[in-house]
Chain A
């Protein structure tokens, strides 16, 4: 089933920090040494997208579950909490 995650993220309230709280440590590793690239699938906000020669990080829509930090097979993702008060703010929770 094809689903546009943007429609879901549109429901949420984000206060976006100018500074990214997620960083791919070495994009070469993603392209050359990671066959499965599971981050492209399991991330519930589809933060990670494969462009021609790299994986991009749309940290603005991150739901802050932490899955990429431990689920990256190469542990190639640096993930910290957004600055206090930034990131997603639940309305219902």
Chain B
């Protein structure tokens, strides 16, 4: 390709597209490379997106027919033992009215394609079916463009934005981001299960167009640091379950067997009954948090989204951080181009802008969270088991006095986990999210 571009973006996901859109709006010549057949072909997320960050890029996204599956009006958290579990949930009329589209579900194959289409309307060029295999660099090591797997596939640009996601073989190859260690990522599998729209409405107790998210911890990940979710789409459910990759390696657990056992759990099975599995996918989550974030800019390049490990594991926020970082990268690039300095110094404003935004503030706040989960495996074994057995015992009416029951429960807890350990766990847990 002989054409000249000011900015080349690697990856047409939320980070790359929000950057391309913002650049194109300013009249900057930008090209986006996407290795999938179409934007979204390779992308996976649990499926929840947040209106705030999308609205910054596309204020009228509803009017522009953003492919929303369901507006989330209720959030549930489950803590499961093998045979049952606890459920806490919150619903608010505000999420149906004033705060509608605060959070909503999407299928990424449709959403990313729609989002990229908006960027194209603004003037960005999106080239699909093209893998960026390397970055071009001059003698001084400054990034000067991208090498693609097309014949004659070198494209020069004054700035390259790396936004090819958590599994960024490019960031690893160029050394701009060290490969994640197995305990810095979770490997999650996802199944999309089709059900009639009305059946989902009834099973989840919602009106048409409204949806529910369920975030799930407990014995379902077989003692491993992991999480599962169930999200409602228009006429399907997204079921995801994943665990820390290091834990999966050490426990010889097959992710798809863990998924099938999850589907058979007594609190899950009735929700998906008679549903038809339609798709099966796998993806990493960047669980390492703040301390695994690489240096996010240098001479002629920036990194945005999950390529930069920007993911809030506690709140399951990723695509919004991708959009926010993509937009901030675009602002920095526009300024740098205007000043004529696209070197490391010219792009340094990106790091400062990220630090000042909710992205880094939140990631810094939860920087200890991943380690807390990894170091306290009783959260995924002993504790849900004890909790469930205590609840079962208190709810069983069998002629034994409540006082006797409490004594036996207390003994059982003390036998399973020393109180000092339990106190330390609570302290560490509070600190990790404090």
Minimum CB–CB distance from A45 to chain B (whole Å) comes to: 7
CB <8 Å contact, A85 and B128? yes
Q: How large is the interface on A (under 10, 10 to 19, 20 to 34, 35 or more residues)?
A: 35 or more
Name the residue of chain A whose CB is nearest to the CB of B247. A42
Which of B37, B248, B264, B278 is A92 in contact with, Cβ under 8 Å? Answer: B278
CA distance A38 to B246 in the complex (A): 10
**A70 in the interface, Cβ–Cβ < 8 Å?**
yes
CB <8 Å contact, B282 and A93? no
Minimum CB–CB distance from B200 to chain A (whole Å) comes to: 15
CB <8 Å contact, A88 and B187? no
In the bound complex, residues from chain B placing their C-beta under 8 Å from that of A69 are 169, 179
CA distance A63 to B130 in the complex (A): 18
Interface string of A78-93 (1 = CB under 8 A from B): 0111111101111111
In the bound complex, residues from chain A placing their C-beta under 8 Å from that of B36 are 85, 89
Stretch in contact with the other chain, from B103-111, B211-219, B332-340:
B103-111
Number of A-B contacts (CB under 8 A): 152
Stretch in contact with the other chain, from B52-60, B92-100, B254-262, B352-360:
B254-262
Minimum CB–CB distance from A39 to chain B (whole Å) comes to: 9
CB <8 Å contact, B42 and A42? no
Q: Given A12-B279, A44-B255: A84 and B131 within 8 A (CB)?
A: yes
At the interface, is chain A mostly helix, strand, loop or mixed? loop
CA distance A68 to B231 in the complex (A): 28
Which of B149, B249, B283 is A42 in contact with, Cβ under 8 Å? Answer: B249
* B40, B108, B256, B257: residue with the most chain A Cβ atoms closer than 10 Å: B256
In the bound complex, residues from chain A placing their C-beta under 8 Å from that of B112 are 93
A residues 56-82 in Cβ contact with B at 8 Å: 63-67, 69-71, 73, 79-82
Minimum CB–CB distance from B64 to chain A (whole Å) comes to: 19
CB <8 Å contact, A70 and B179? yes
Minimum CB–CB distance from A90 to chain B (whole Å) comes to: 5
In the bound complex, residues from chain B placing their C-beta under 8 Å from that of A73 are 249
In the bound complex, residues from chain B placing their C-beta under 8 Å from that of A89 are 36-38, 41-42
Given contacts A12-B281, A38-B250, 10 further A-B contacts (CB under 8 A): A1-B257, A41-B252, A42-B255, A67-B282, A69-B179, A79-B169, A84-B129, A92-B107, A92-B236, A93-B40
10 tightest Cβ-Cβ pairs between the two chains A and B: A85-B129, A93-B108, A66-B167, A93-B109, A8-B280, A44-B282, A63-B282, A65-B282, A92-B107, A38-B249
